[in-house]
Amino acid sequence: MMKAIKTLLVTAVFSLICSNAIAIGMQGTSDVKKSLALTIEHLEKAVAAFDKGEDPKIVVERLMEAKQVQKSFSTANGKLSMIKSRATQKLGQARSSFNEGDTAGGGAAMKEALAGFKEFKEKYDAMH
């Protein structure tokens, strides 16, 4: 009797762990596309603010918004993951540059990040 209860308990716990892992790991294509579009939108706003000569703090706020949104999507495709990784690195580099007072470097890195996320979107859309 105890062995049966133990087996049922282990099975229930394992099922719960697996179902949570699947729910967390499974992102629908539409969710990825929405998050990606929002990331690009925030970056475009940051670039526009930079190009208008707005306060770098405003640009950094937009970059942080983009950085937060981009965390919500991922892909199992190796090539796409590399593109996203490079774009995310450029995003972090842009923020660091702005925070250190290097607006020219920050602007260049931010534009590279935007180009990277746009490339990711183009390739992701072609696959889905």
In a domain, 23, yes or no: no
**Per-chain mean pLDDT for the chain:** 85
Q: Say how many C-beta atoms besides its own lie within 10 A of residue 118's C-beta.
A: 17
In a domain, 21, yes or no: no
Interval 89-93 mean pLDDT: 96
Q: Which of 23-27, 70-74, 92-96 has the highest mean pLDDT?
A: 92-96
CA 89 from centroid of its chain's CA atoms = 11
**What is the predicted pLDDT for the residue at 14?**
55
In a domain, 94, yes or no: yes
Residue 102 scores a pLDDT above 50: yes
Q: What is the 3-state secondary structure (H, E, C) of the chain?
A: CHHHHHHHHHHHHHHHHHHHHHHHHCCCHHHHHHHHHHHHHHHHHHHHHHHCCCCHHHHHHHHHHHHHHHCCCCCCCHHHHHHHHHHHHHHHHHHHHHHCCCHHHHHHHHHHHHHHHHHHHHHHHHHC
Residue 105 scores a pLDDT above 90: yes
Interval 95-103 mean pLDDT: 95
**What is the predicted pLDDT for the residue at 8?**
52
CATH number of the domain bearing residue 93 = 1.20.120.660
In a domain, 109, yes or no: yes
In a domain, 90, yes or no: yes
Reported as half-sphere exposure (CB side, CA atoms, 13 A), residue 63 has a value of 30
**What is the predicted pLDDT for the residue at 118?**
97
In a domain, 97, yes or no: yes
Which domain does 45 fall in, by range?
Answer: 28-127
Domain count, the chain: 1
* CA-based nearest residue to 70, from 121, 123, 126, 127: 121
Residue 47 scores a pLDDT above 80: yes
In a domain, 4, yes or no: no
In a domain, 105, yes or no: yes
Interval 32-59 mean pLDDT: 95
Query: Among 2-6, 49-53, 82-86, whose mean pLDDT is lowest?
Result: 2-6
Query: Among 24-28, 47-51, 106-110, whose mean pLDDT is lowest?
Result: 24-28
Q: CA 50, CA 42: separation in Å to the nearest integer?
A: 12
